[in-house]
């Protein structure tokens, strides 16, 4: 699992740097701001709901990581800041995961162990989902309004054929990956491979889009490698955290620490 997460992050770093290098990231953000700049709080509500639903209905969390930088960049372009983007994406998916409307990894497993019908009592969790969504939107919107600036000004935005083609391919391939993650709630065999599927789809989407936008050969390889190198500090942090857990487990003190923490709480 640790190796999968590391590879996952390296792919994300490489692809985002490639998309930045070919200009597709800026073009995509400019297009969204040009279209939704006057209705940015509606867009905030829609994006937040999407990420909450990903966590609540299919139990996604790590699989949403590739989308977080996109939302953060979007929030900055719309006149907010990086923390607002984190709230719209990572915080939202975490809140959705906690509400567990049809989360197969929490509610599904627990109800199977308890001998209850799968996802019984869903109406109560739906009410919880709506209440959490309302509180989350209040929290994000109030903060967004406090720090809001005018959206990044778009001076005569015009469509570019190559960028449009690259954006189309990026959204189509990434959409296939998201569809696979959504279907994992019903096709249980996919649940163990969702992170791999998203990583492969994101890699394919990024490379195809970069090629369509004119970034090819050596330039593409260099930008991808530079993006991966920027992620290496996070890799070392993951390895360090994993080594601590491994050491505590091998020393047979982890369960004691957890028991003490639970009893204290």
Reported as a single tens digit per residue, the pLDDT across 47-98 is 999 999 988 887 888 778 888 888 999 999 899 999 999 999 999 999 999 9
> Over the stretch 11-56, which tens digit does the pLDDT of each residue have?
888 998 999 999 998 888 888 888 887 889 999 999 999 999 988 8
Asked if 100 and 67 count as a contact pair (C-beta separation under 8 A), the reply is no
Query: What pLDDT is recorded for position 155?
Result: 65
pTM of this prediction?
0.76
């Amino acid at each position: 699992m640790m190796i999968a997460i590391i590879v996952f992050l390296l792919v994300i770093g490489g692809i985002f740097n490639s998309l930045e290098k070919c200009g597709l990231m800026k073009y995509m953000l400019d297009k969204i701001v040009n279209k939704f700049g006057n209705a940015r709080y509606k867009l905030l509500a829609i994006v937040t709901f999407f990420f909450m639903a990903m966590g609540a209905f299919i139990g996604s969390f790590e699989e949403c990581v590739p989308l977080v930088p996109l939302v953060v960049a979007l929030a900055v372009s719309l006149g907010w800041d990086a923390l607002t983007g984190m709230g719209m994406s990572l915080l939202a998916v975490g809140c959705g995961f906690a509400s567990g409307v049809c989360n197969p990894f929490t509610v599904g497993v627990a109800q199977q162990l308890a001998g209850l019908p799968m996802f019984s009592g869903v109406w109560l969790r739906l009410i919880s989902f709506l209440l959490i969504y309302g509180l989350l939107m209040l929290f994000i919107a109030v903060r967004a309004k406090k720090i809001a600036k005018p959206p990044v000004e778009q001076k005569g935005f015009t469509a570019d054929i190559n960028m449009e083609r690259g954006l189309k391919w990026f959204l189509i391939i990434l959409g296939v990956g998201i569809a696979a993650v959504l279907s994992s709630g019903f096709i249980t065999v996919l649940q163990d491979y969702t992170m791999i599927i998203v990583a492969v789809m994101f890699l394919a989407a990024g490379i195809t889009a970069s090629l369509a936008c004119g970034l090819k050969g050596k330039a593409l390889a260099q930008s991808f490698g530079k993006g991966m190198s920027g992620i290496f500090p996070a890799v070392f942090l993951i390895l360090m955290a994993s080594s601590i857990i491994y050491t505590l487990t091998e020393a047979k003190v982890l369960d004691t620490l957890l028991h003490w923490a639970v009893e204290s709480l």
